[in-house]
Structure 1
Amino acid sequence: MIRQLPLDLPHRPNYADEDFLAAPSNAKALALLRLWPDWPHRLLLLTGPQGSGKSHLGAIWARRAGATILPAQKLDLAALPGLAGAPALLVEDADEPPLRETELFHLINLAMEHGTFLLLTARKAPDAWELRTKDLLSRLRRAPMVALEQPDEDFLRAILVKLFHDRQIKVEANLIDFLVPRLERSFAAAQAIVAALDAEGLARGRPVTRALAAELLAAAPVADDEDH
């Protein structure tokens, strides 16, 4: 079999408002973000597993609120005063290592002092972050938190369609019908199989089809990398 070497090009998901998939698993989070600026608190936590839509929801809210988007791992204590005039801030992946506890604590204080709206995204609730800064944990515990849940079967089907569409891969309905009952019902599993099929199709110079998926799953079932 002649295989092509696929280029490792960066994949950029589509975070347009109209492309967000509303479902029961994200209904509470979507409703709460839409309440802005009438939030119950200036600080809000949005949690959920990888691929559950945290970044997409965050991007939608950031556009509406005029928020500056900050990766938590790149928070810089010296740069925090420059954020004092921001109307809103989105800090992504707040529980990803290395935890920037001092920076995050001072950022929350800065936001509360200046009336800045602050949205934090994370995979888990703060009690699972293993924080050493008790004052930070106390502040996070007092903030409202809304969680994104794992998808049901219908939502998993819609997620697969969107993931293929984001990669500009046209697939037949029979491929989706084949994958849904064979995958773990999680966002990470959907992301993993779509990425694997994309790479395999490029390597073989073949379209992504049900037959290709059957070969791939039979040879090496795609694992759900929940901790990525």
Structure 2
Amino acid sequence: MLPTLTRGRRIAAAASSLTLAATLLGGATAPVFAHGEATPVSSHSQAEMLQPDPTSPTAYEFGETLATLEGEELEITFLAEISPHHRAAIEMSQLELERGVSPDIRTHAENIIANQEHQIDQFTRWLEEWYGLTPEEAMAQAPAEAQEEMKILEEETQMMIEELSAVEAGEDFDVAFVQKMIPHHQSGIIEFLEPQSRAVHPQLRVAATAGITTQQAQVADFRTWLAGRG
């Protein structure tokens, strides 16, 4: 049982994390994440089609969990999750380069691949240098609650990739990619919040800040592009 003061501080940290996440994501709250079969893009009305997909509530829950962790446990848990999260963004971006036609969105996809491959290499190296762990070993050491949330996030991400893979090449693919990359980036921003402010290693705090800045800028560009499609 945590001492009352420590537990209170952790609860306050979780609340602060979610408040900051809502601010960074434009005041968004966690909507219900739609499970089940994907609806083809062509069947949406124009107004619906131009909205991004919702951000997973599990991403907010994982952010709450990170806010209760400290020191080594915080860093290991974050580093266990961020690499597969980035790999999914890279996979979606590679699909955009194969099927998308918008020069602007394709350029964003190229940048996502370059930036997130760099961070994966960086984070994997730090895990080994600091803790002697691979990302898989780090995940096995994460708290049980975090492991369950990471499992759900992985399942939801795979569903997102499968839905995107079912979209044919052309302008519709650009739209579908943007609709899915916005919430994916928003999840990443939530994950970066705690290490940005409380990571033990200063280089991880710097990397988390860079991750937030880059993904915020891309989300803003994606939203502007999507709005221009109306």
Q: TM-score range by the shorter chain?
A: under 0.3
Q: Could you tell me the TM-score, scaled by structure 1's length? A: 0.25
Between structures 1 and 2, the one with greater strand share: 1
Give the structure-2-normalised TM-score.
Answer: 0.25
More helix, by proportion? 2
